[in-house]
Amino acid sequence: MTPTAGSLSAPASKAELASAVRREQTRARYPDAEGYVVRDGVRIFWERYGDGDPTVLLLPTWSVVHSRFWKAQIPYLARHCRVVTFDGRGNGRSDRPAGAEAYRTDEFAADALAVMDATGTASATLVGVSCGALWATILAAEHAERTEAVIYVAPSVPLAPDHPERKFHAFEEPLETEAGWAKYNSHYWSKDYRGFLEFFFGQGFNEPHSTKQIEDCVGWGLDTTPETLADTTRGLMIGGRAQFIDRCARVRAPTLVIHGDLDLIRPHAQGQALAEVTGGELVTLEGAGHLPIARDPVKLNLLLREAIHPAGPPRRWRRARARGRRALYLSSPIGLGHARRDVAIADELRRLQPDLEIDWLAQHPVTAVLDARGERVHPASAHLANESAHMQSESSEHELHCFDAFRRMDEILLANFMVFHDVVREEPYDLWIGDEAWELDYYLHENPELKSAAYVWLTDFVGWLPMGDGGEHEAALTADYNEEMLEQIARHPRVRDRAIFVGDPEDIVPERFGPGLPSIRQWTERHFSFAGYVTGFDPATFEDRPALRAELGYHPDEQVCIVSVGGSGVGGDLLRRVIAGFPEAKQLVPQLRMIVVAGPRIDPAALPAGEGLEIRPYVHDLYRHLAACDMAIVHGGLSTAMELTANRRPFLYFPLGHHFEQNLHVHHRLERYRAGRRMDFEHSPPEAIAAAIAQEIGRDVDYRSVPIHGAARAAALIAEVL
């Protein structure tokens, strides 16, 4: 039957509806086109990213997962070539036909050919992982004119003996044991499908600290059923070794085999044999397991790029004698506080090194601050996936499970690191500065051979901490993340030329990284330098508050309350709650003038208006208004709270629910400074906020003084590595 292309207007299948129940994490890049192709009555869902040549077809693997499996490769490859992928029959948004015959290897290969036709793909480089090697080989052997090259990753092929422990268990018969590979059994799947998925992907990701990769794959496995997966397994058993070897011999396209030598799913010997039979190259990943596309994505991406569309040499080179000093600065976009301190540090750094040129690899809302100051934002910043938008998508009513949101940002962080890699490959820099640029720090430690410049890391907190109601599971995950970081620093201490804590040792929480792990403060004191807090201004310049108020348009007989939730866009619910309490607050404080600053990511028009209430969009140099106000209301972000502390202004702060940094790290620091009045959003109706405003506005405070030379100290520490 001739394949027919379909559109997304087709009725959703039960599988699609079930899959949609689980909220997908934010993608780093969304498809430019998507649709269905129908072949022999089976709908196959495809996506296309980018245009032009060359094209890479990322093939499905076993239907235990779907095409989101390629999330680490798509954003990077799509910046350099055209990418096509599709959900293999049996999972994702493709149909789930019944019976083993529907899942023969030839059927998957025919689906791939139909997708190529539907997407106008004359030929492509084929990339297959594990079982994807089977249909890639069929395509390359039977349709040589459509195949530019074949890249096999951890191929599952009948060319060498399997792991011995997999041979002793029948798939269709009930077994007396459920230990180990006995779980690869249709009867066990019917009884404990999730248990099988957790075991299987635990074997697939046998590298330590693979909790997120396992979690992703188990979730994708739950998008199909054990009955469907059993049919796919039976289908894979149809066909013989001799037929596959014959097809391997007929592959004429160049081949590359990438295989981990610690693969517990398919032995390295199978990849080695496939390279020999096809006459291809073999790249062995030492210490790697079965799924390096997810566990070692930087290395895989670079290998794929080199094989599919080589980057070529850098287009420009400057002799060492002719080079000026250059720094690339990465500032976290989650809020605006990093931008304020980073431009202050940059100014001080230029005073110490007048010839230093600074480029910024940054995204909104940081770019709002940089543009206002005339800083040079690197053009490649346009390729960055937005982290603030992801955090906003993970939030609910004044609630942001920060640690979970960070884990679910892994695709975005990787995509942004690959942008960074492209930039520093093309342009030489003497120094990289990362202010909570998590992607830079993590992937440099995972790929230390990529370090080609001095590198400085800045942060104002150390240690992922579990919230009290997260239970043992969250405690175990945060400890695992911390342990991985500790191991990275111990194994590669020279990746960070300097680590700077934005604060003092006393600002560090009195906690441990986890059971059996070091004290956070003691470890940080050994591995970090301390700059003190960086406000970016000297409070002494605002000692004449009447003059400052007059300059900003605030009258002597007014009591000014500034309401701000920073630049992340997460605090809209707090703004609405405060606005609802404004009429009562105005009755309690007749001279009250309330100014609500929506920030760069909240539409002021989306906030309710009220008589006597002012709603403003992003305000440049907001810290000056905070210095002039009689009180402020903020969420629990560190930067704005410390600006208010430095200017000795009373303020209410509402930490986001389940936000471990705001509830634990920031709260600890504010308690040390005796600053602010903490309030709980859930138990603070508008009338309670109004009463708190009346109690706090204009109150004399007794805060600990905030040192004013943090930016200069940080710059001096950075300059030393130049």
Mind listing the pLDDT tens digit for each residue in 41-80? 999 999 999 998 999 999 999 999 999 999 999 999 999 9
Report d(CA 166, CA 185) in Å as an integer: 11
Which CA distances in Å does 421 have to 70, 299, 390, 418, 678?
19, 12, 22, 5, 42
**CB under 8 Å to 298, separation ≥6 — which residues?**
414, 417, 418, 421, 443, 446, 447, 450
Pairing of strands 454-459, 431-435: parallel
What pTM did the predictor assign? 0.94
Check whether 444 has a pLDDT greater than 60.
yes
Give the residue carrying structure tokens 């634990």: 664
Check whether 2 has a pLDDT greater than 50.
no
CATH classification (class only), 320-533+712-720: alpha beta
Report d(CA 473, CA 211) in Å as an integer: 11
For the chain, the 3-state helix, strand and coil shares in percent, each to the nearest 5, are 45, 15, 40
Check whether 566 has a pLDDT greater than 80.
no
Report d(CA 294, CA 269) in Å as an integer: 21
**Lowest pLDDT segment from 8-17, 269-278, 599-608, 678-687:** 8-17
Question: What are 377's strand-pairing partners?
Answer: 360
Check whether 720 has a pLDDT greater than 60.
yes
Pairing of strands 454-459, 42-49: unpaired
**pLDDT in the model for residue 11:** 36
**pLDDT in the model for residue 667:** 98
CATH code reported for the domain at 4-164+241-308: 3.40.50.1820
Task: Please give, one letter per residue, the 3-state secondary structure of 129-157.
Answer: ECCHHHHHHHHHHHCHHHEEEEEEECCCC
> What mean pLDDT do residues 456-474 have?
96
Domain range list for the chain: 4-164+241-308, 320-533+712-720, 543-696
Q: Which SS3 state, helix, strand or coil, does residue 498 take?
A: strand
Mind listing the pLDDT tens digit for each residue in 342-359? 999 999 999 999 999 999
pLDDT bin (cut points 50, 70, 90) of residue 166 is: confident
- In this structure, are residues 154 and 127 in contact, taking their beta carbons and an 8 Å threshold? no
**Do 4-164+241-308 and 543-696 show the same overall fold?**
yes
Query: Could you give the strand order of the β-sheet that contains 255-260, starting from the edge strand earlier in sequence?
Result: 4-6, 33-39, 42-49, 82-86, 55-58, 124-129, 147-153, 255-260, 281-285
**pLDDT in the model for residue 602:** 82
* Fold (topology level) of 543-696: Rossmann fold (3.40.50)
Q: What number of residues does the chain have?
A: 722
Mind listing the pLDDT tens digit for each residue in 100-143? 999 999 999 999 999 999 999 999 999 999 999 999 999 999 99
Report d(CA 593, CA 631) in Å as an integer: 11
**pLDDT in the model for residue 308:** 96
Mind listing the pLDDT tens digit for each residue in 624-644? 999 999 999 999 999 999 999
**pLDDT in the model for residue 286:** 98
